[in-house]
Amino acid sequence: MRQIVLDTETTGLNHASGDRLIEIGCVELVNRRLTGRHLHYYVNPERDIHEDAIAVHGITLDFLADKPKFAEVVNEIRDFVQDAELIIHNAAFDLGFLDMEFQLLGLPPFRQHAASVIDTLREARQMFPGKRNSLDALCDRLGVSNAHRTLHGALLDAELLAEVYLAMTRGQNSLVIDMLDGAATGGETRAATDLSALTLPVLLATDDEISAHIGVLKGLDKASGGKTVWQESAPAEATAL
């Protein structure tokens, strides 16, 4: 399976009001492994860049003055993502800008060239509800080093997002990846381990642990004014403890 992790930087926040793309960075994953292939362009937006945006990514119009216009790199971008699954953090933002750039050139929307899209922001909100799920926050939470990230940059952020995505989804695929290791490296595939004869020990709570647990539940029930769900649904002998 071929996946492309993608990020962009822009002149501002709103493509509908004329903001433009100024940087795109993509890294390639094949069978959940980084291949080393990447695509990276700075783009001359042919318009001013908002000061707030410069404070985020540090890219100035002077720096972009000799960079190619989007029309000059659109074919390379389209070919690199063709039929791949895209992985993007807050996908609606990046896809909005890319679709607009393609539209300005009279081309079909950018997203039509991809097989599908994974929005890691949406996935993170489901995985970590109520928590901050920015790229920096996810790096901290998942143990991905971002110490070298002082400003936003499309290629750097795509590389970080690739590591974050793999960390977020490793539990879903680790057994499959282990089985594929031999084939991927040309070595022997590991044989499956027979666990049918394995007896797992059952550790029961001690009387002291049960008493402590009941004490905690009673304290919570008292603090809620007797409205805890477990007290309402518990059998009579349990509530009498």
Residues annotated as catalytic (active site), given as ranges: 152
Q: Which two structure tokens, joined as six digits, stand for 160?
A: 């970080």
Token pair 């890319």 in the structure block, residue = 98
Token pair 């974050």 in the structure block, residue = 164
Q: What is the DSSP string of 134-159?
A: SHHHHHHHHT---TT-SS--HHHHHH
d(CA 54, CA 12): 9
How many Cβ atoms are within 10 Å of 10's Cβ, its own excluded?
A: 26
| Amino acid identity at 161 | L
How many CA atoms are closer than 13 Å to the CA of 5, on its beta-carbon side?
A: 26
Interacting residues of 83 by C-beta distance below 8 A, sequence separation 6+: 2, 113, 114, 115
d(CA 204, CA 1): 45
Find out whether 50 and 17 touch, Cβ atoms under 8 Å.
no
d(CA 171, CA 183): 20
